[in-house]
Amino acid sequence: MPSLHFRYSAMNAGKSTYLLQVAHNYKENGMDVLLLTSALDGRDGYGVIASRIGLKAEATTYSAETDFDELLQDVNVACVLVDEAQFLSAPQVHQLHKWVHTQKTPVMCFGIRSDFRGEPFPGSATLLALADSLEEIKTICQCGKKATMNIRTDEKGLRVSEGDQVLVGGNNRYRQVCAKCFYN
């Protein structure tokens, strides 16, 4: 039975690489997939899913205004893969959940659970509540422990503890850390 999957981790764990590998596996077996990524992230160009190890693929972008009931209305694919799923709204996650179970097509969402303050993203919180399958993708903190949190840094590399929840950036802006390092 098709499921809504949520694959989550701290920053820099390989979520986009994992997504692109799943897409490759489907395509290698002659099946079509729909790749979706947030319109907020243009670091590698808008409509591009890119991993830090150099893998890339074109994707359809979604925004806060995207109606997934409408977007997926005539889609006929073996799987839908969603990158940067933390940027989904709660209603969008509900739409995806409904689509999975009415259209019998799996959806795999990849994203981070919480922001640099330890606060959940609405999309991630709703995915944690509704997903039929949850998987943590593990990565490590600079101290060697499992990283579960994210911190934001400024241009000088100093930790930032206030600001908007969303500020798109990569290694130049964020680091993954364990809970102990998050609180120290």
Query: Catalytic amino acids?
Result: 84
CA distance 18 to 27: 14
Could you tell me the CA-to-CA distances from 5 to 41, 131, 152, 163 in Å, in that order?
22, 5, 27, 30
CA 79 to chain centre: 16
92: helix, coil or strand? Answer: helix
- Partners of 110 in the beta sheet? 7
Q: Is the dihedral of CA 46, 64, 10, 127 positive or negative?
A: negative
